[in-house]
Amino acid sequence: MKKPLLGLAAFLALAGLIFGLNYAHSLMAGEAKGEAEAEKPILAPSLVKKAADSSVYLELDAATRGRIGLKTAALSPATFTPECPGTARVLDGSGLTLQLGEVRLAESAFEAAKTDRDRKQQLYDNGRNATASSVEAATAVVKQAELTLATARAKIATTWGPDLITQNLGELAAKLLARKVSLLRVDLPFTSRLAEAPKSVRFVSPNGDKLGSGDFLGLPATTEAPLGGQSFLFLATGDPSALAPGASLLARLPAGADLKGFLLPRSSIVRHDGEASFYLQTAEGTFSRHQVELAHPLDDGWLVEAQPAGPVVIEGAMSLLSEELKEDIQLKD
C-alpha cells in the first residue's frame, strides 16, 4: 500500500517540476520579446515619396510646414556685373594736394601776366601811352609764367599721371585736403587685362566687407602691377579709417556686360555630396530638389539665368534636406 502512494507522490512532484520549468521559460521568453520590442527603433513616417519616373520628392502637410518654418517665394530679378579682381593701395594725397596748389598758383600768375601784357599792348596800340619796352617786358613775364605753369603741370604728370591735369584742380585739391575722397591706385595681374579703362571700382577687405567705391581718375605715371599688368587711379569714397594712406585693399573692377537673371537667396541653397541645390514647390505641400550651378555670386545670394518653374523655398531648405536624407540615416543606424 505504501509503495503505490510513494510512486504517486513522486509522479506528482515530477509533473509539478516540469510545469514550473515550462512556466518560467514562458515568462523569460515573454520578457525577452518585450525587451527586444522596446529596443527596436521607432521610425517616424517618411515624408519622402517616389514619383512614377522614380524621382524623389517630399510631401509635407500644413502642420509640418509650419513647424519647420517653411517659406516659399518667386525669385526677384537681379543683375550680375562681371568683375576683374585686383589689389588696391591708398596713396598719400597730401603731396598731390601741394602740387595741385602749385599748379593753381602758376595758373593765376600766368593769367595775371597775360592780362597785364594785353593791357599794355592795347595802350601801346591806341596812342603809344605805353612804351614798346614795357610791352616787351610784360611779354617776357608771360613767357616766364607760362613756363612755370608748364613745369608744375609736368611735375604732376610725371609723378601722378597725365590725366590729372584735365581735372578741376581746385575742387580736387579741396576734397583731398578735407579727406572727403581718397586717392587709390589699383593694380591688375598680367593675366587680367581690360579692353578699356573702367569707370568705377569697388573696394572690399580681405574678409569681403564692403569698404567703398571709387570713380576713375586716370592712368598713373608708372605701373606697379606685377609683370606689366594694368594700373589705374581712382577717387574713392567710404570709411576714412579704412581708406587711410598706406592701407591695402582688394579691388573689384567691372569687366564686361551685365548679366540679367534672378536672385537665388543664400538661405535657399543646400549642399550635399559636393553639389548645390534648391527646393522647388511643385504643388501644394510638395517639394523637389534641383541642382544648380553657382557661377555668379551676388551680395545676397547667386544669380540664376532662368526663373524656376514655381515658388522656391527661401526658409527651411535645410530642414527639407534633413527629411530627405532621414531614411538613409535610419538605415545606417
Instruction: Assign 3-class secondary structure to 177-224.
Output: HCCCCEEEEEECCCCCCCCCCCCEEEEECCCCCEEEEEEEEECCCCCC
Q: What gap in Å lies between CA 319 and CA 146, rounded to an integer? A: 75
For residue 74, the 8-state DSSP code is P
pLDDT band, residue 56 (cuts 50/70/90): confident
Residue 53: per-residue pLDDT: 78
Between 159 and 266, residue with greater pLDDT: 266
Percent pLDDT > 70 in the chain is: 83
Reduce the DSSP state of residue 27 to 3 states and report it. Answer: helix
Q: How much is the pLDDT for 204? A: 87
Per-residue pLDDT, averaged over 111-125, amounts to 91
pLDDT range class, residue 331, cuts 50, 70, 90: very low
CA distances (Å), 220 to each of 151, 184, 225, 266, in order? 18, 10, 11, 39
- Residue 256: which region, alpha, beta or left (left: phi > 0; alpha: psi -120 to 50)? left
Beta-sheet pairing, 231-238 with 297-298: unpaired
Query: Using 50, 70 and 90 to split pLDDT, how confident is the model at 92?
Result: confident
β-partners of residue 68 are none
Compute the mean pLDDT over every residue in the chain, rounded to the nearest whole number: 83
More confident residue, 48 or 41: 48
Segment among 112-126, 224-238, 288-302 with least mean pLDDT:
224-238
- The whole-angstrom distance between residue 303's C-alpha and the CA centroid of its chain comes to 12
- pLDDT, greater one: 129 or 252: 252
Residue 299: what pLDDT? Answer: 84
pLDDT at 40 over 50: no
Which of the residue ranges 63-72, 202-211, 276-285 would you say has the lowest mean pLDDT?
Answer: 202-211
Pairing type for strands 259-265 and 297-298 reads: unpaired
Taking the alpha carbons of 140, 157, 237, 298 in that order, is the dihedral positive or negative? positive
Q: What pLDDT shows up at residue 42?
A: 44
- In this predicted structure, the answer to whether residue 194 has a pLDDT above a threshold of 70 is yes
Report how far residue 197's alpha carbon sits from residue 195's, in angstroms, rounded to the nearest whole number: 7
Bridge partners (DSSP) listed for residue 254? 83
What pLDDT does 148 receive?
93
The pLDDT assigned to 32 comes to 52
**244, 184 Cβ separation under 8 angstroms:** no
Q: Is the pLDDT of residue 38 over 50?
A: no
In the chain, count of helices (H) and strands (E)? 6, 17
Strand partners, 76: 263
Whether the predicted pLDDT of 76 surpasses 80: yes
Average pLDDT over residues 210-228: 79
Q: What is the mean pLDDT of residues 178-194?
A: 85
- Residues 286, 61: Cα–Cα separation, whole Å: 9
Among the residue ranges 107-116, 161-170, 184-193, 308-317, the one predicted with the least confidence is: 161-170
What is the pTM (predicted TM-score) of this model? Answer: 0.60
Q: Taking 50 as the threshold, does the pLDDT of residue 39 lie above it?
A: no
Mean pLDDT of all residues in 110-138: 88
Mean pLDDT, range 103-121, rounded to an integer: 92
Q: What is the length of the chain? A: 333
